[in-house]
Structure 1
Amino acid sequence: MTLGSLYEHAAAINVCVKHVMLPTGMQGRYLDDIRTIELAHQLSGGSEICTLAHELGHAIHRHRHSTEQTEREADEIAAQLLITDEAYARAEKMAENHSFIARELGVTPPILYAYQRILDRSRYHRLRALQVEVREYSFTLTKEIA
């Protein structure tokens, strides 16, 4: 997703995005009471895209506080906005190194890890569904043989 489309997404969910001076080390924050994302004024390029996508995650979930859980949730939204299955598969084929894959995808390592968590959950659910199918098929075969 491009920076422009992230700004459009923010506007579509009635969230204002501003570039402001933030405390040292802070790249962005979401203020739910005024539906505003504040980005550090010096952000540009990939840093701006990743930070805006992460803060949009907070806005989508209407987070009011930063906790380990809310940060994970925001990273997972950012991952869904920024990483496609096809792009991830291409990057993963080039190397298994997480730093390389994150750079190749233009995302931060936490956003890459969030994408991998989503992927793992998806694979787990597909595997569980397949196991249920196999059990049901085996049960049907057993009934037919008996």
Structure 2
Amino acid sequence: MGVRVRTAVTPAGWWGAYDHQRRLITLRPGLGPIQSACTLMHELGHAYYGHIGVTGKQETLANRWAAFRLVDFDRMIAAAAAEQSTAGVAASLGVLPSVLETYLQTLTRAQLDHVRAVAVGRAA
């Protein structure tokens, strides 16, 4: 993608930022490994789409782009069979719960039914 990544101060409340003109991703210092990985992938989504500025639509696109690259359906199913909560599944996959939620929102009805069936089977 031709994007540089650095760790430096970001705007208040932001874990990361993407500057399209400079093709530069900045990650906030002190993020944990999962926060850092998920934030980097989100910012790479902005780079992929060439986003300039910040809009709700751009955030949604970057979130989805990141979720599809961080969550594998088969691994998620295996985690759902073993874990008791969405947070547990997310931790097992090494992603933030918000990333897993974004991923789940994009699944088809058949895929969601499969996830539910696995979770119900675990609870039985």
How is 1:35-114 mapped onto 2 (pairs within 5 angstroms)?
35-95=23-83, 97-114=85-102
Alignment partners' CA distance in 1, 2:96 and 2:110: 21
CA positional deviation for 1:123: 4.9
Greater Rg, structure 1 or structure 2?
1
Richer in helix (by share): 1
Residue type of the alignment partner of 2:50 = R
- Match of 1:33, SS state, is coil
Distance 1:76 1:96, change over 3 A: farther
CA positional deviation for 1:98: 1.8
Contiguous gaps of at least 5 residues in structure 1: 1-12, 125-146
- Match of 1:29, SS state, is strand
Deviating 4+ runs (over 4 angstroms): 121-124
Question: Kindly, what percent of the aligned residue pairs are identical?
Answer: 32
- Match of 1:17, SS state, is strand
Query: 2:108 is matched with which residue?
Result: 120
CA positional deviation for 1:87: 1.1
- Match of 2:76, SS state, is helix
Aligned length: 112
Is this contact kept in 2: 1:27–1:51, CA < 8 A? yes
Give me the TM-score of the superposition, normalised by structure 1. 0.68
CA positional deviation for 1:90: 0.8
Q: Taking CA–CA contacts closer than 8 Å with sequence separation of 6 or more, which of the two structures ends up with the larger relative contact order?
A: 2
